[in-house]
Amino acid sequence: MKNLWQNTSKEQKLIADTTESQTTDLLIIGGGFTGCSAALEAAKQGAKVVLLECESVGFGGSGRNVGLVNAGLWLPPKKIISILGEKQGEALISSLGSAPDLVFSIIDKNKIACAPKRNGTLHCAHSEKAMDYLFERLKQGHQYGEPVALIDKIATQNKIGSMKFFGSLHDPRAGTIQPLAYCRGLARTAKELGAKIYENSKVTRIKTHNGMWHAEVKNSIIKSKYLLLAMNAYQDLNEERNTGKFSTVYYSQFATRPLNSNEMSTILPNKEGCWDTATIMSSFRVDDAGRVIIGTMGNSEGLGRRIHSKWANKKLKDLFPFLPDIELDYRWSGKIAMTKDHIPKIVNFKKNALSCFGYSGRGIAPGTFFGKACASALLSEDLSILPVSALKHYREAFTREKTAFFEMAAMANNSLKSMKM
């Protein structure tokens, strides 16, 4: 099955420039939210920029997610502060709380055709006990200035059109987009400002020589004073061992045909994006054409594809039992870079070089913000402006084992839930 976002993007795929040997100010490897945002910021500052993408812009997680523009991270504010300390933690909470403003302002200013909707998101309680968790998130959110609101069971059911939830937490700062179109729009805008963006340009080696970074791609060498690695979960450069080692998690999406007006009459009338409080969470939303899009952890293109597809069909019927039997027209999956504490990382692995990764499923707004910050920090040679302190290295243990465990857990969970629904 195909990726819905690839079939419906109104921002066209870029026609890649011809790669040729050249010298630039900033070299970016990776054409997702982080890399394209960095390219846009650097181009706005008047720097010469080259972005290399081994496939096509938005090929990775940036073009495969559900499209929720969330504020903040998965973690409650107090947990972030316990990890980063009060000063840096509060600064990150504030910065990422306003990151959706950055995303939607870029979309508006540059007329990016990505179906933006800013009606908030709903974090949905899948059990009565989960309401205690949402109430604690509400208290912490208000303590740190977040405009979130707790919605009771009846109001939540009316907002969603489903009887399955016990309440929800509404965040008006958030919204939804067509994520691949947004990523392509970032790249288009950066290119219009002078950035050079090359697709199908896999870097085979990077090294330093005479104070410059050299990247070998095809039969060319790109030389640059500054380097940003923005590959996130699709990182595949082995020469620089300290750029970051972390676990990856697959997340899959499924989409129906466009529903008719009668079928759609009560389903998410305000088009909020939703996700639930379950340990292995699921997400759902609708697009402008009236398709229901459902997501969960797991690789729908791997060994568990039948399990995950069966779960999606059952989940759709469980949420909206009044719908007729509907085939899923689209199925796709992507990888998430998951750090053990769920805090994004920036690694200053060598002079004038950064690697940025680990949004743990919150890539749209944080990725846009971190990419912009990384570009500014490199060009100004001032790492103090980064949203998190730059590390010299980051390597987690047993990452392959963790990745395999996550997939097995998702398969077991979805298989069990399919039998219960």
Whichever domain contains 115, its CATH number is 3.50.50.60
Residue 268 and residue 256: Cα distance in Å, rounded? 15
Structure tokens at 227: 């380097």
CB contact set of 38 (below 8 Å; sequence gap of 6+): 26, 28, 228, 230, 371, 372, 374, 375
Residue 280 and residue 249: Cα distance in Å, rounded? 12
Please tell me the predicted confidence (pLDDT) of residue 239. Answer: 47
CB contact set of 118 (below 8 Å; sequence gap of 6+): 69, 100, 104, 174, 175
Residue 282 and residue 295: Cα distance in Å, rounded? 5
Domain containing 191 equals 4-420
Beta bridge partners of 205: 216
Using a CB cutoff of 8 Å and minimum separation of 24, what contacts does 398-403 make? 399/245, 399/246, 399/247, 399/248, 402/247, 402/338, 403/247, 403/248, 403/249
Which of 261, 254, 419 is closest to 331 using CA atoms?
254
Which of 27, 6, 142, 18 is closest to 378 using CA atoms?
27
Domain total of the chain: 1
Q: Could you give the strand order of the β-sheet that contains 273-276, starting from the edge strand earlier in sequence? A: 149-151, 168-171, 121-124, 273-276, 282-286, 292-297, 247-256, 328-338
Structure tokens at 348: 């200053």
Please report which helix (H) or strand (E) contains residue 332, including its range: strand 328-338
Please tell me the predicted confidence (pLDDT) of residue 30. Answer: 96
Regions of the chain where pLDDT drops below 70: 1, 237-243
239 exposure class (CB count in 10 Å sphere: 0-12, 13-18, 19+): exposed
Residue 254 and residue 239: Cα distance in Å, rounded? 37
